[in-house]
Amino acid sequence: MISHWRIPIYWRLSNLYFWFFALLGGLLPYWSLYLEGRGFSYLEIATLMATIQLTKIVAPSVWGWL
């Protein structure tokens, strides 16, 4: 079995980015419809969707600072 430390960083990062964007691409188009079906109001859904986008902007800077 190959240790994950022996796999080049390129392949590890490629794998991470692939799954990250695959999950986002599968989640974001349908999550608002799911929330609407669960009884959330349009304002609550918009707030949650905006939070995802805001987190993608703010989190890298905060994580880098930490």
Identify whether 58 is part of a domain.
yes
Q: Residue 5: which pLDDT band, with cuts at 50, 70 and 90?
A: low
Q: What pLDDT, on the 0 to 100 scale, is given for residue 2? A: 59
| pLDDT, tens only, 6-63 | 778 888 899 999 998 998 888 888 999 999 999 999 999 999 999 988 998 998 898 8
Question: For residue 7, what is the enclosing H or E element?
Answer: none
Whether 18 maps to a domain, the answer reads: no
Rounded Cα–Cα distance for residues 28 and 36 (Å): 13
Residue 8: inside a domain:
no
Do the domain assignments include residue 41?
yes
Q: Residue 33: inside a domain, yes or no?
A: yes
How many domains is the chain built from?
Answer: 1
| Residue 51 belongs to domain spanning | 24-65
Statement: residue 1 has pLDDT above 60: no
Gap between the Cα atoms of 50 and 9, Å rounded: 32
How many whole angstroms separate alpha carbon 55 and alpha carbon 12?
23
Task: Give domain status of residue 59, yes or no.
Answer: yes
pTM value surpassing 0.85: no
